[in-house]
A and B are shown apart, each in its own frame.
Chain A
């Protein structure tokens, strides 16, 4: 069985692939989130137990991933809207791709810092 090669698309194709991946990831997060929040009506103790299990470094990393995914999906969504409805959009799609990438990095740097600060201090001890 021989498969064909992967299509070598440009930025447009890969931003779309990433848009799908982040979209599906955020959907599954929401699904889990609805389930764990609904748990409080079943048993407040079970709810506390589940929420406590979230206070681990791994879940903290996942939270950073979630913020990154939501932020990317939102920014790229705006880019796609501009591509579709702004007359100059299709010609500027490459520049807009780099622009949303830059905004993503600028927002994620401090975001990641503050989100991971507590975990890192707990794990490695606070300098203060």
Chain B
């Protein structure tokens, strides 16, 4: 035996973590209420794992959305310790487990049950900004070519997974549900600054309305909340600048 054996890796230790979850069952509850659950978790576990443990082992009525569990489908946006995050991208080791971890539904959309909200108003705003390519002229017989620089121009916005973390972190959106909200503006930005797209003028007019980009108060909650690291406030600002200086 050589003496090159690696130091033994310490086995991870599970610790009891308490979750304070804002529950609402429309069939029985008149109002939402807080309930506490304690589950053993490893530091590397996700909050989503905890919710699944609670649902599977303690209370099967706990309701939440999840799909891929890997931060790409955008289903499990929720407010964890007061901030919007994806439950599948939030690890226990990044939270202070000496106090209960609060989990509640995202704010500003109608609460349906426990951690599930009605996403329809959010998608309505998304649809309203025409989030698809509006081409110009004849359909080309080959690909629509684009330089690397032109592609990079709108790269940030392509990362959006429509989880609603940004829109439901916005104080303007909480009080004014008519506001398009950050996510819809990011979607518009993604096409406005796409060199292959010819619908910029249309989208800018939509966002120039009362409930458009001018409702943004630059609180940066959206930028801080985005699980994809999109500079959301910057994307909104670019649309404002395009409107002011009439230059895309």
Task: Decide: A12 near B234, CB < 8 A? Known: A4-B107, A5-B104.
Answer: no
Q: Contacting B33 at CB < 8 Å: which of A2, A8, A10? A: A2
- B206-233 interface code vs A (CB 8 A; 1 in, 0 out): 0000000000011111011000000101
CB A19 to nearest CB in B, in angstroms, measures: 8
Q: Select the stretch in B36-44, B76-84, B127-135, B182-190 that faces chain A.
A: B76-84
Against A, the Cβ 8 Å flags (1 = close, 0 = not) of B164-181 are 000001010000000000
Which one, A29-37, A55-63, A83-91, is touching chain B?
A83-91
Interface size on A, residues (CB 8 A): 22
* Chain B interface bracket (under 10, 10 to 19, 20 to 34, 35 or more): 20 to 34
B32 to A2, Cβ gap below 8 A? yes
Assess whether B22 is interfacial by the CB under 8 Å rule: yes
Asked if B237 and A16 sit within 8 Å, CB to CB, the answer is no
- Residue B240, interface by CB 8 Å: yes
B152 to chain A, nearest CB (A): 15
Chain B, Cβ-Cβ closest to A7: B82
Chain B neighbourhood of A84, CB < 8 A: 218, 237, 240-241
Alpha-carbon gap, A11 to B169, bound state (A) = 14
A4 partner residues in chain B, CB cutoff 8 A: 22, 32, 79, 104, 107
Contacting residues, chain B, for A52 (C-beta < 8 A) = none
CB pair A5 B82 closer than 8 Å: yes
B33 close to A9 (CB less than 8 A)? no
Shortest C-beta distance, A107 to chain B (Å), equals 23
B13 to chain A, nearest CB (A): 28
| Residue in chain B with minimal CB distance to A4 | B104
A1 within 8 A of B: yes
CA of A125 to CA of B102 in the docked complex: distance in angstroms?
54
CB closest chain-A residue, reference B225: A9
Q: Is B244 an interface residue (CB 8 A)?
A: yes
CB of A106 within 8 Å of the partner chain: no
Docked-complex contact B171 and A8, CB < 8 angstroms:
no
State whether B219 touches A6 (Cβ < 8 A).
no
Task: Give bound CA distance, A88 to B59, whole Å.
Answer: 49
Contacting B at CB under 8 A, from A71-90, are: 80, 83-85, 87, 89-90
Contact present for A5 and B218 (CB under 8 Å): no
Q: Are A7 and B237 in contact (CB under 8 A)?
A: no
Please name all residues of chain A whose beta carbon is closer than 8 Å to the beta carbon of B107 when the two chains form the complex.
4, 7
Report B-chain residues with C-beta under 8 Å of the C-beta of A12: 218-221, 223-224, 233
Q: Which of A1-29 contact B (CB under 8 A)?
A: 1-2, 4-13, 16
A9 and B234 in contact, given A2-B22, A16-B171, A85-B244 (Cβ under 8 angstroms): no
Contacting residues, chain B, for A89 (C-beta < 8 A): 237
Q: Once the chains are docked, how many angstroms separate the CA of A121 from the CA of B79?
A: 53
B residues within 8 A CB of A9? 169, 171, 219-221, 224
B98-153 with Cβ < 8 A to chain A: 102, 104, 107
Interface set of A (CB-CB < 8 Å, partner B) = 1-2, 4-13, 16, 80, 83-85, 87, 89-91, 93
A-binding residues in B (CB < 8 A): 22, 31-34, 79, 81-83, 102, 104, 107, 169, 171, 217-221, 223-224, 231, 233-234, 237, 240-241, 244
Which 8 pairs across A and B sit closest by C-beta, in order of nearness? Answer: A12-B220, A8-B82, A90-B234, A13-B219, A16-B219, A9-B221, A12-B219, A83-B218
